[in-house]
């Protein structure tokens, strides 16, 4: 038995159609858009027993799918990455970091490359540099937060060679303490080149491990 028509009315619908960028009603039939336009026209196309939803003047947008992938970067290093996707607390994330650091052989780094936000944590904050250094005192750690900053522990600063004499690159800032020494916070000011250039300084996996890593990433 075919499903009833679905009629959405009294809406501000973004259509992504340049010729008709906004509509007030849509008709969905058998999972497909059957009519898009003004309410009078769309109602006329609907079946007599259509299910009607009044959007109350709200904005309606199509389902958006972010399909971009960082295949090269992800494939080369995925096996060495620590993922915080969906981790509920910062305490859990730091426990994972400590365990990963203990299991990471030198000279490899622990990398947390995106996939999380401080808003997912119950604590509603990012880890401090002191917390990162306590969790991983000897293993280099690189934590990328969105495209605005990266957190490096002291071991990572040593690995990349950032000192008080390292100048800020164009478009980036190496945050420093009162004595001029890098703290471990890198800021995109305004672009993320410094973040990815620093990440690229990390050691690569052997070719056979890169192949295995890429398979897992895909």
What's the CATH number for 6-60? 2.30.40.10
Kind and range of the H or E run holding 45: helix 39-45
Q: CA geometry: angle at 157 spanning 183 and 202, to 5°?
A: 140
Distance CA 94, CA 127 (A): 8
The fold for domain 71-217 equals: Diaminopimelate Epimerase; Chain A, domain 1 (3.10.310)
pLDDT at 120: 97
pLDDT at 89: 98
pTM for this predicted structure: 0.71
Phi, psi angle pair for 176, to nearest 5°: -130, 155
pLDDT at 2: 66
pLDDT at 1: 56
pLDDT at 64: 80
**Residue 29: beta bridge partners?**
32
Helix runs in 104-192, H state only: 129-135, 154-160
Domain boundaries, the chain: 6-60, 71-217
Distance CA 169, CA 195 (A): 11
Q: In whole angstroms, how far apart are CA 62 and each of 15, 17, 69?
A: 7, 11, 21
Pull the structure tokens for residue 98: 């400590």
Below-70 pLDDT ranges, the chain: 1-2
């Amino acid at each position: 038995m075919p499903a009833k028509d679905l009629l959405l009315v009294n809406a501000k619908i973004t259509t992504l159609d340049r010729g008709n960028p906004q509509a007030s009603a849509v008709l969905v039939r058998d999972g497909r858009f059957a009519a898009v336009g003004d309410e009078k026209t769309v109602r006329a196309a609907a079946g007599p027993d259509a299910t009607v939803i009044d959007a109350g003047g709200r904005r309606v947008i199509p389902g958006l799918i972010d399909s971009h992938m960082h295949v090269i970067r992800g494939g080369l290093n995925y096996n060495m990455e620590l993922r915080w996707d969906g981790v509920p607390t910062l305490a859990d994330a730091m426990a994972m970091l400590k365990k990963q650091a203990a299991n990471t052989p030198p000279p490899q780094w622990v990398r947390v490359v995106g996939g999380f936000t401080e808003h997912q944590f119950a604590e509603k904050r990012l880890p401090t540099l002191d917390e990162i250094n306590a969790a991983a005192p000897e293993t280099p750690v690189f934590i990328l937060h969105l495209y605005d900053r990266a957190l490096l522990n002291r071991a990572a600063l040593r690995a990349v060679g950032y000192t008080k004499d390292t100048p800020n690159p164009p478009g980036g800032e190496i945050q420093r303490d009162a004595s001029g020494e890098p703290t471990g916070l890198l800021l995109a000011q305004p672009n993320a080149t410094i973040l990815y250039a620093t990440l690229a300084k990390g050691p690569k996996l052997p070719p056979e491990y890169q192949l295995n890593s890429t398979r897992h990433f895909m």
